[in-house]
A and B are shown apart, each in its own frame.
Chain A
Amino acid sequence: MINGDGPSSTYPALEIDDLWKIYGRNSQDIDIDDDELLAELTRSGEAVVAVKSVSLTVEAGEVFVVMGLSGSGKSTLIRCLLRLVEPTSGRIVIGGEEVTTLGEKELTRFRRRQAAMVFQHYGLLPHRTVLENVALGLKIKGMDRAERKEKAREALEKVGLDKWARYYPGSLSGGMRQRVGIARAIVMDSPLLLMDEPFSGLDPLIRREMQDELLRLQEELHRTIFFVTHDLDEAMRLGNKMAVMKNGEVVQQGTPEEILADPADAYVARFVDDKRRQVDLADRKKTAMVKTAEGKPEAKVSGKERSDHVS
């Protein structure tokens, strides 16, 4: 699983150390160690703590999934990694480079080389063709026309959209648009892929297809993937490691199996209970079908629950 090229193999791919993001006036001046002050500010609505003392380590080649409900701070966290949102305090190290201290020029260079991001709302340019959209990052990087078209074409082939190169994003379905988003990210050859709820806007069948596609791509590419989702199934299917976030804090970290076996608190347990119920239902259904060979299988097991069952 170790990523062979570059200095990234000697460091963890991504290290987050005591990261905070507080929204509000003069958030830079707030003393984050003062719990009472924070509680007071939050109560009065003067400040919102979006990310609260998060520390994580992601090894190269890992698929690390951050799961949490909306408002848990996961989207803010992933945006902090590229400094699309400026963290209030803490340290982020990606590929041995301390992101949090980079100047403007270095940050631009870092974004072009070290990490590529896929967005929930795709963020595609409506006035550019699919091919041009995939080549956007390369163009920004300053790669010449012929070379970037060539690379973009290869990336489109990888996601199975080579026939759609000349179309505009407006004529594509949601799943196809997100394939374009993924192609745009992998074409960058950055060691780290950031994915912010990339499949949340898609319907369940397409979502599943896209997850398989991502797993297949990952087998081929061996990138480090930092994946954010609100969907436990998705987290379990994709992640080698996962973290559960609630109210800006990481409440549990570990492998999906560890979390399923031993939820650390009531919040995690609630997710996991849901999950177990689904698994039980599916199991009961199976046994019922075996027992009553010609009888009807248990009713009320909808297609959705079946498709959500973890294999």
Chain B
Amino acid sequence: MFPEAWRFHIAPYVNEAVQWLLHSFAPTFDRMAASITSLLGAISRGLTFIPWWAYVLFIGLAAWRATRRWTSAIILGLMPLLIGLFGLWTLAVDTLAIIIASVLLALLLGIPVGVLMAEAKGTTKFITPLLDGMQTMPSFVYLIPAMMLFGLGKVPAVFATLIYAMPPVIRLTHLGLSQVPKPVQEAAKAYGATRWQLLREVRLPLAMPSIMAGINQTTMMALSMVVVSSMIGARGLGQEVLLSINRIDVGKGFESGLSIVIMAIVIDRITQGFARRFEPHRQN
């Protein structure tokens, strides 16, 4: 056994740090919470304003554009109907709002971080281990500080989801930028491109397929946080799953679980179809 007398805890320091953050930056966190709330509000209002059949139509159309196959357009378009038939439509829209808000913020923060890693190579040394940590840390752990800083409800859910879902888009932005062929970059430099021009005209466009894959991954990660974040009171499909677990209601749990899967499939297909438009132009 490990010696009883040897004890050292970092827990009190972590607690103290969170307390300190809370005391010193309370107004900042309040403001952040307020802006996340209003962002969520705007997205929610927009999403609830759209009638159910418009979703079905939009998904069907987007699927057709992505795959050019009627069968997959019809199947994907009809899938969300199932969510409505289960009586989970409103909850699904709530979940969708949280996902859209967290993914938007994740991209807003993540893509510039990825660019920074590619432009200032030294920063990778610090950011990569941080990203590893963010991804391996059990996602439940984020809930505690998120809850302490932002209270209960959707705002901490967005915050926790954001942290959990951000690494893929950072990594794939960085990867995409570092794989841009050297001859193309050299040519642009030879013609007098500044660093910014090089990034905008050459590096970012050529990294786009990889960045799009990152966006797709980030969205999928955000979806997988749905159930976890419902533990801190975020209304939505996740909450239904949680309730079914508490009530040992397998059928109900399956319905909500299936609804989450349906959302994942639909979002994945649509973002992938969108990503394909950024693929380089075919040879021949």
Contact = CB atoms under 8 A, between A and B. Distances in A.
Interface of A: 82, 84, 108-113, 116-117, 119, 121-127, 136-137, 139-141, 168, 170-171, 184, 188, 194
A153 B71 CA distance: 45
B188 A140 contact: yes
Contact of A127 (B183, B189, B206): B206
Contacts of B202: 125
A123 B184 contact: yes
Contacts of A184: 191
Interface string B171-213: 0000000000001101111111110010001100110100000
Contacts of A140: 188, 191-193, 197, 201
A228 B208 CA distance: 34
Interface stretch (B4-12, B28-36, B275-283): B275-283
Interface of B: 183-184, 186-194, 197, 201-202, 205-206, 208, 280-284
Nearest to A115: B190
B210 to A, nearest CB: 13
Given A122-B183, A124-B184, A117 B206 contact: no
A112 B192 contact: yes
Given A84-B186, A127-B208, 4 more contacts: A109-B192, A111-B189, A117-B190, A188-B191
B206 to A, nearest CB: 7
Contacts of A109: 192
Contacts of B281: 126-127, 168, 170-171
A119 B188 CA distance: 11
Contacts of B282: 170-171
Nearest to B193: A140
A229 B205 CA distance: 32
Nearest to A114: B192
Given A112-B191, A136-B201, A123 B186 contact: yes
16 contacts: A84-B186, A84-B189, A109-B192, A111-B190, A123-B184, A123-B187, A123-B188, A124-B184, A125-B205, A125-B206, A136-B191, A136-B201, A139-B201, A140-B197, A170-B283, A188-B191
B224 to A, nearest CB: 32
B197 A170 contact: no
B187 A119 contact: yes
A142 to B, nearest CB: 10
A213 B282 CA distance: 28
A137 B183 CA distance: 15
Contacts of B280: 126-127, 170
A303 B205 CA distance: 45
Contacts, number: 75
A66 B192 CA distance: 24
B283 A171 contact: yes
B196 to A, nearest CB: 11
A127 B281 CA distance: 7
A257 B95 CA distance: 79
Contacts of A139: 201
Contact of B187 (A117, A126, A170): A117
Contacts of A82: 190
Contact of A119 (B183, B194, B205): B183
A120 to B, nearest CB: 8
B188 A136 contact: yes
A50 to B, nearest CB: 16
Nearest to B187: A123
Contact of B183 (A110, A113, A121, A141): A121
Contacts of B197: 140
B283 to A, nearest CB: 5
Given A84-B186, A126-B281, A140-B201, A111 B192 contact: yes
Contacts of B186: 84, 119, 123
A113 B282 CA distance: 34
Contacts of A121: 183
Nearest to A120: B183
Contact of B192 (A125, A141, A168, A170): A141
A124 B201 CA distance: 12
Contacts of A123: 183-184, 186-188
Of B190, B197, B202, B283, chain A has the most CB atoms within 10 Å of the CB of B190
A279 to B, nearest CB: 36
A228 to B, nearest CB: 14
Of B191, B193, B201, chain A has the most CB atoms within 10 Å of the CB of B191
A148 to B, nearest CB: 12
Contacts of B184: 123-126
Nearest to B191: A137
